[in-house]
Amino acid sequence: MNCALIFAGGTGQRMNTKTRPKQFLELHGKPIILYTIEVFENHPDIDAIAVVCLGDWIPFLQKKLAHYDIAKVVAVVPGGATGQESIRHGLDALMEKAGPEATVLVHDGVRPLVRPETISDCIQSVAERGSAITVTPAIETIVQEENGEIVNVIDRSACRLAKAPQCFNLGELYAAHERAEAEGLGDFIDSASMMRHFGHSLYTVEGTPENIKITTPSDFYIFRAFVDARENSQIFGL
């Protein structure tokens, strides 16, 4: 089985909204997280989806899933105190539903512009090489600094920006989380960092620049522009 674990447990403080978390902000009447879920729902190779959600918003999300006829979501679980703990909750649900031999694609709930082709490439990479980390090229100069002074200018041709989905064998990622908990390691910033720490090889899949994470108001406006452009291309045949 190929499973998606969609992480939507954050409150979105950088979005500067006081009404609702960023993943539930609406564009054309549909919450951002539904745009994300639909990409995986409509992908023919995705068999099951688990969503990690803020506990107070689970009833709202479940109503939206029913409204938009989402059929592949097999679990909606509350998040934890940290992102790492929240992902573990989603992995618990998928282990029960799909088992350790499944492939899991860990994806941000506020990254709705991921392309189906990227999902397909990630699934293939896990099958052939054991992992898939979606990346895009670094397009600006990257520097290292200490105390306000630049100490190194890094060759950006060798640099990539790690995005999502980040994909692994479900049993292996679950085992890594168990080991991290046993060793008291609770501050991994993402699944790739954890798997790398425990000695797993990570392989890249080239993603697309529009696969942005909607974190700030400007990100939301970019998202809206992409959605409107796609709708216009369907209407006018552009």
Structure tokens at 191: 């699944």
d(CA 173, CA 186): 15
Q: Among all chains, which residue has been given the structure tokens 């790739």?
A: 192
* pLDDT for the residue 12: 47
pLDDT along the chain (238 residues), means of 10: 89 57 91 97 98 94 96 96 93 96 97 97 98 95 94 92 97 98 95 97 96 92 92 64
| CA atoms within 13 Å, Cβ hemisphere of 201 | 6
d(CA 158, CA 165): 21
* pLDDT for the residue 135: 97
Contact 130, 200 (CB under 8 A): yes
Contact 201, 125 (CB under 8 A): no
Contact 48, 76 (CB under 8 A): no
* pLDDT for the residue 8: 87
DSSP 3-state assignment of 26?
strand
Question: Could you give the angle at the alpha carbon of 112 between the alpha carbons of 37 and 48, nearest 5°?
Answer: 25
Q: Among all chains, which residue has been given the structure tokens 């909204």?
A: 17
